[in-house]
């Protein structure tokens, strides 16, 4: 158990819908990262927040948005869902954002299926 | 461009034998960190080992060691005395100083340990 929690574990929805994925980082971690893992794209970094502020942006679509709240939990919002958005979405957390061995601890993931 | 290459999509190893999983990387940044993660069939991502670009010695963590050859830009993972529980996907990843909050993942290698 990494200490990072993600809810829900599974999510099944229809095209065009909007969903919210939730992540609670490990106690004391200030950084939260979101990743998408799909069969065709592999693991893709989406976005990172550090202590409530957006810190880095990766391959995140405009239909997706995220935020980190004062209690440091984070939510990833996916809207106008398409079939291709079906994937495993990981949240990870780390203490800081430096280059050193700033290990990221991953949550168990949310499996999103868009029908 | 920053890139991680893992040329072995699948590997087999006999139980108790050692196995090397290949990883090559491409970056022009002199400061970077290299990570290996394990993803069992259950889906969670487990951090295994870290190597910094300025580390003088190869990293080791229990049965895991990293064969870091900086000039060749390779960071191969060596697993000694393979166990059945080592069967999983293994991802090599990199973070550079210019993008220290992003992690770039390779496509992964699927390792199967045979009894």
Q: What is the pLDDT of residue B100?
A: 61
List of chain B residues whose C-beta atoms are within 8 Å of the C-beta of residue A108: 43-44
pLDDT (tens digit per residue) in A87-112: 999 999 988 765 555 678 899 999 99
pLDDT (tens digit per residue) in A53-83: 998 888 899 999 999 999 999 999 999 999 9
Beta carbons within 10 angstroms of residue A36's beta carbon: 23
Q: What is the pLDDT of residue A1?
A: 80
B44 has a chain A CB within 8 A of its CB: yes
B102 has a chain A CB within 8 A of its CB: yes
- A31, two tokens: 């950084």
Per the document, the length of chain A is 115
Euclidean distance between CA atoms B31 and B53, whole angstroms = 6
Euclidean distance between CA atoms B90 and A17, whole angstroms = 33
Q: What is the pLDDT of residue B74?
A: 97
List of chain A residues whose C-beta atoms are within 8 Å of the C-beta of residue B43: 88, 108-109, 111
* B91, B103, B108 member nearest A45 (Cβ): B103
Q: What is the pLDDT of residue A42?
A: 86
- B18, two tokens: 């050692």
Decide: A78 and A21 in contact? Cβ < 8 Å: yes
- B112, two tokens: 């199967």
pLDDT band at residue B93, thresholds of 50, 70 and 90? very high
pLDDT (tens digit per residue) in A16-60: 999 999 999 999 999 999 999 998 888 898 999 999 999 888 889
Backbone φ and ψ for A84, nearest 5 degrees, come out as: -70, -5
List of chain B residues whose C-beta atoms are within 8 Å of the C-beta of residue A104: 47, 103
Helix (H), strand (E) at residue A77: strand A74-78
Weakest mean pLDDT among A32-36, A79-83, B10-14, B42-46: B42-46
- A35, two tokens: 């990743």
Distance between start and end Cα atoms, chain A:
31
Handedness of CA B53, B59, A28, A4 (dihedral sign): positive
List of chain A residues whose C-beta atoms are within 8 Å of the C-beta of residue B47: 103-106
Is residue B62 predicted with pLDDT exceeding 90? yes
Beta-carbon separation of B107 and A103 below 8 A: no
Q: What is the pLDDT of residue A102?
A: 66
B32 has a chain A CB within 8 A of its CB: yes
């Amino acid at each position: 158990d990494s200490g990072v929690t993600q809810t829900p574990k599974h999510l099944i929805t229809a095209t065009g819908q909007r969903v919210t994925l939730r992540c609670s980082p490990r106690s004391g971690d200030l950084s939260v990262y979101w990743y998408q893992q799909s069969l065709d794209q592999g693991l893709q970094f989406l976005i990172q927040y550090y202590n409530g502020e957006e810190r880095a942006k990766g391959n995140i679509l405009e239909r997706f948005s995220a935020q980190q709240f004062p209690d440091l939990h984070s939510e990833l919002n996916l809207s106008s869902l398409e079939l291709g958005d079906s994937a495993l979405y990981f949240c990870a957390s780390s203490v800081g954002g430096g280059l050193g061995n700033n290990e990221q601890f991953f949550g168990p993931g949310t499996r999103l299926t868009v029908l | 461009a920053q890139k991680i290459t893992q040329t072995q999509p699948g590997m087999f190893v006999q139980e108790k034998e050692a196995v090397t999983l290949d990883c090559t990387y491409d970056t022009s940044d002199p400061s970077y960190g290299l990570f290996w993660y394990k993803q069992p069939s259950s889906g969670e991502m487990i951090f295994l080992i870290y190597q910094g670009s300025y580390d003088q010695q190869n990293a080791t963590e229990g049965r895991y060691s990293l064969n870091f050859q900086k000039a060749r830009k390779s960071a191969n993972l060596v697993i000694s005395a393979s166990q059945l529980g080592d069967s999983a996907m293994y991802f090599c990843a990199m973070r550079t100083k210019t993008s220290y909050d992003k992690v770039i993942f390779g496509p992964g290698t699927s390792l199967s340990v045979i009894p």
